[in-house]
Structure 1
């Protein structure tokens, strides 16, 4: 079958299913099956390349699953995050592009620590995305990644092994009482906790049906785990250390008030590239 015809069919199916980015997803699924990059798929289309029956069948099967709103990252087994390619699948939260801003805020705080080896912890690390970004982009830092979900921890461990950051340590523990041996010694604590209120249902089927509930919902007001992160970070950070929290676009004011009440200083909310409140930072 002609590759262009296969791609056109895939785009049509995904468009009908209202998948948000049908052209990109179709090209990425074909690239996955063919074992090439998306750019190489585009080049092969221009040169009139064809696919064999087995490849066609594999692409069509993946397209149908994507049309049913199974996450693209589950189908390919990969998610891009900053300079990293992470392994993901059922049981772990798929890292989002907006979380790259959260990682950047934590990286900037680490780089601002004078001398020596700055120390950071990522509470509720999931796939390890933020922790691995810190460890690879600030190689002189010591980073600890904390996760309490057995299903997610499998992916955390796989990604740590794949990336091979020797300055990263994994800890299987609940974030509420994690790392007592590090009390008062860390420079940065970062977290992307579950922050969706229990009564709020995510619009996207990929999130609603496939992301683990423990990574989504944060109690009646969405802030239960944020409160736990605030308490743990207060315990772990040295005076002057930085807390970085991801949250929903309508939660900035509530989180600043929560942090102010807990004794944090200089709480400030940063907007993402779409102009939505995305992360709040504060000083111990």
Structure 2
């Protein structure tokens, strides 16, 4: 633990215990006394794992999994590791899907920029009536979402490779989606993350949103939401805390959304846009 603390690891004790459990082949470890004697090879393997973590390799990459809400998901280098803050984004999508289900309909939910499939699978497993479609540009993310769906999902999840900036994406679902949720890349080019675990290990494709403000991809998400959502459908999108006003302006100025608002994350920071598709899209879409 001291080695990890000196290396600046944010949660040295938690990580040390997790690494020890991994070395022992246990799902978790609650140590009162160290095992005596230690299993053969444990000391050497544990030391190697600690050294990797000391070098700020993400704990999730070392142990190969992470927990998101009620799910244990496989993670791999090259695919963005889901964070606890995004569980609130998933909750907003789940709440809306449950509201739709309570009316007797089967809610259609789309997760854009799905990464590991964390949000999509949370909806898939927590809202029995939901039909969920997950999309990502990265082939690695698509493959990992499919793996996680097979491991922990209901097997109803549809996973597609596609670019959120493509106006033909999910063309067969135009005007039918009840909830569109996304944790897109949104980091501006001059705001390189300070944490080595993020800066050196999360893929640039999942971090940097494009444009001077980092909002090119989020703008594309909102354009997709305007196209895909049914009248009254809800868009839920994560963003950086300094982007709340700019994201609200994008949504409002598009003319496609009403009830545009920002909600807080677990720490109270403004990190999530929610907005409803205008109910009169038939009139709006007929305008030149």
Common topology (TM > 0.5): yes
Which residue in 2 is equivalent to 1:171? 160
Distance in 2 (alpha carbons) for counterparts of 1:42 and 1:222? 42
SS of 2:21's partner is helix
**Corresponding residue to 1:266 among 252, 259, 263:** 259
Structure 2: gaps spanning 5 or more residues: 278-288
Say which SS state the counterpart of residue 200 (structure 2) adopts: helix
Q: Give the match for residue 199 of structure 1.
A: 190
Please say if residues 142 and 159 of structure 2, whose CA atoms lie closer than 8 Å, have aligned partners that are also in contact. Answer: no
Cα deviation for residue 48 of structure 1 reads 5.0
Please state how far the C-alpha of 1:76 moved relative to its aligned partner.
0.3
Q: 1:133 aligns with which of 89, 107, 122?
A: 122
**In the alignment, what sits opposite 1:91?**
78
* Matches of 1:112 and 1:70, distance apart in 2: 40
From 165, 173, 185, the counterpart of 2:176 = 185
After the TM superposition, which parts of structure 1 deviate over 4 Å for at least 4 consecutive aligned residues?
A: none
CA distance in structure 2 between the partners assigned to 1:86 and 1:63 by the alignment: 22
Q: Match for residue 257 of structure 1?
A: 249
Distance in 2 between the 1:190 and 1:48 partners?
A: 46
Listed as ranges, the matches of 1:69-88 within 5 Å are 69-88=56-75
Structure-2 residue corresponding to 1:101: 88
- SS of the residue 1:175 aligns to: coil
Give the secondary-structure state (helix, strand or coil) at the position aligned to 1:195: coil
Displacement of 1:152 in angstroms is 1.8
**Closer, same or farther in 2 for the Cα pair 1:232/1:89, shift >3 Å?**
same
Q: Secondary structure at the match of 2:165?
A: helix
| 2:109 paired with 1:120 | yes
Choose which of 221, 224, 247 in structure 2 pairs with 1:229: 221
Output the CA distance in 1 between the equivalents of 2:114 and 2:36. Answer: 42
Bigger drift between 92-101 and 50-59 goes to: 50-59
Instruction: Count residues in correspondence.
Output: 271
Q: Does 1:58 align with 2:45?
A: yes
Equivalent-residue separation in structure 2 for 1:37 and 1:157 (angstroms): 23
- Report the TM-score, using the length of structure 1 for normalisation: 0.93
Measure the CA separation in 2 of the matches of 1:196 and 1:218: 5
Shift of 1:56: 1.1
Question: What are the Cα deviations for residues 221-253 of structure 1, in whole angstroms up to 9, with x where unaligned?
Answer: 010001100111111100100000001111111
Deviates more, 1:155-164 or 1:55-64: 155-164
Is the contact made by 1:252 and 1:277 (CA closer than 8 Å) also made in structure 2?
yes
Q: Is the 8 A contact 1:191 1:245 kept in 2?
A: yes
Conserved in 1, the CA contact under 8 Å of 2:78 and 2:203?
yes
- Give the SS at the match of 1:109: helix
Residue 92 of structure 1 contacts residue 151 of structure 1 at CA under 8 Å; is this kept in 2? yes
Q: CA deviation at 1:176?
A: 2.4
Q: Which residue of 2 aligns with 1:30?
A: 20
1:52-87 Cα distance to aligned partner (Å, 9 max, x none): 341111111010010000000000000100000000
Q: What residue number does 2:274 align with?
A: 281
Find the aligned partners of 1:136 and 1:261 in 2 and give their Cα distance: 35
SS at match of 2:30: helix
Task: Tell me, yes or no, if the aligned pair for 1:62 and 1:75 is still in contact at 8 Å.
Answer: yes
Q: Give the corresponding residue for 2:283.
A: none
For structure 1, list consecutive stretches of 5 or more residues without a partner in the other structure: 1-10
